[in-house]
């Protein structure tokens, strides 16, 4: 489990095709390698991926993850290449501060940036969500975009907007998004379960 509060921005340094449909990604980070256990979960711009190796590359700390065919097909991971910057978050520990909202690292689909408005010290970003998860997005609710917990500002049909504060623009990859870009979308779990309960009543 995660909270959508990014703790580092990593960089893909190597991409290796493994077994059919499997790709190994090596990601440079600022985390202490001694604190990363093999098998640990790290959210990488949304998807929760399992650490399969750690190593030093020059003076850079790196961890490797394997992305399976479904992850490559249904998230932006299929387009990650050497140089791609990723929002990273370590798995939540009991006692950690819940600064965002409960995030599973299971991507619901790709949202596309339809409009970017750069305001004084902020940016308003309007995304279009795919139809199935769009019904779980509500004004003042939470969404996770590329692993970042954000509050929904407005909703109109499948489109929704978020206001990005200067801190988030500066310490995540969200600030570099351009119109047309795709991001990994995870809707709020509470909204999903509430809708499911209503359906089964």
Rounded to 5°, angle at Cα 34 from 90 and 5: 15
Q: Which of 41, 71, 76, 126 is catalytic?
A: 41
Question: What is the number of alpha carbons within 13 Å of residue 144 lying toward its C-beta?
Answer: 34
Tell me if residue 174 falls in helix, strand or coil: helix
Q: Which of 73, 91, 106, 131 is catalytic?
A: 106
Active site residue 2: yes
Q: Which of 19, 50, 82, 131 is catalytic?
A: 50
Active site residue 76: no
Q: Which of 48, 64, 77, 111 is catalytic?
A: 48
Residue 12 burial (CB count, 10 A): 19
What are the CA-CA distances from residue 65 to residues 9, 39, 46 (Å)?
16, 9, 14
Q: Which of 7, 14, 40, 68 is catalytic?
A: 68
Q: Which of 53, 151, 154, 195 is catalytic?
A: 151
Contact 42, 89 (CB under 8 A): yes
Q: What is the Cα Rg of the chain in Å?
A: 17
Active site residue 112: no
CA-closest candidate to residue 143, choices 122, 164, 123: 164
Tell me if residue 76 falls in helix, strand or coil: helix
CA 120 to CA 142: how far, in whole Å?
23
- Show which residues are catalytic: 2, 41, 48, 50, 68, 106, 151
């Amino acid at each position: 489990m995660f909270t959508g509060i990014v703790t580092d921005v990593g960089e893909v340094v190597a991409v290796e095709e493994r077994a059919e449909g499997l790709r190994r990604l090596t990601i440079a980070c600022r985390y202490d390698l001694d604190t990363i256990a093999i098998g640990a979960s790290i959210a990488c711009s949304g998807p929760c991926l399992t650490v399969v190796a750690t190593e030093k590359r020059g003076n850079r700390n790196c961890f490797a993850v394997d992305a399976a065919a479904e992850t490559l097909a249904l998230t932006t991971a299929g387009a990650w290449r050497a140089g791609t910057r990723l929002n990273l978050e370590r798995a939540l520990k009991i006692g950690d501060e819940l600064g965002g909202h409960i995030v599973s690292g299971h991507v619901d689909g790709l949202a596309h940036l339809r409009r970017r408005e750069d305001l004084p010290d902020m940016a308003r970003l309007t995304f279009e969500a795919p139809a199935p998860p769009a019904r779980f997005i509500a004004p003042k609710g939470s969404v996770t975009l590329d692993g970042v917990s954000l509050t929904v500002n407005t909703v109109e049909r499948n489109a929704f907007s978020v206001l990005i504060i200067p801190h988030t623009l500066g310490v995540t990859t969200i600030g570099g998004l351009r119109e047309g870009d795709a991001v990994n979308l995870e809707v709020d779990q509470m909204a999903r379960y509430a809708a499911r309960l209503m359906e089964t009543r």
